[in-house]
Amino acid sequence: MSDLHHKHSHTDGHGHHDHHGHDDHAAHGSLKEYVIGFVLSVILTAIPFWLVMGNVFENTATTGYVVMGFAAVQVLVHMVYFLHMNFRSEGGWSMMALIFTVLILVIVLAGSLWVMHHMNHNMMPGMSPGGAHQMHNME
């Protein structure tokens, strides 16, 4: 009898094994969701590339802020379409991961802006665009 009970606990009556430890009701994403995520990722990469290569904005700081905005949106697209994070997850783990991701994103973006600003501010005179002209005048 224990063999019969053991057999029924691992099959669904048609010989198919049930999956222990897996949430079958949890969304794992469909091909359509992956394609949407991929297309959005390509668009969110191509637009900033075009903005930088086409020198669309005269002010480089504006270009930097717009590119960082696209980067932040792309992180969210990856979280939703590839990591399948949403607000319906049990136990709040998805919400904690979202908060952690937003915190890391803010730290990375703010840190990048801070480093780039200080690198630009502290450049040697000969290294900046037009700096060769300044050095030439010093001689």
Give Cβ neighbours of residue 38 (< 8 Å, ≥ 6 apart). Answer: 81
According to the model, what pLDDT value does residue 24 have? 46
pLDDT value of residue 9: 46
The per-residue pLDDT for 20 is 47
Per-residue pLDDT of 3-62, as tens digits, reads 555 444 444 555 555 444 445 444 567 899 999 999 999 999 999 999 999 999 999 889
pTM over 0.75: no
**DSSP notation for 55-97:** T-SSSHHHHHHHHHHHHHHHHHHHHHHTS---TT-GGGHHHHH
Could you read off the pLDDT of 87-132 as tens digits, one per residue?
A: 665 656 677 777 888 899 889 888 988 888 888 777 766 665 655 5
Length of the chain: 139
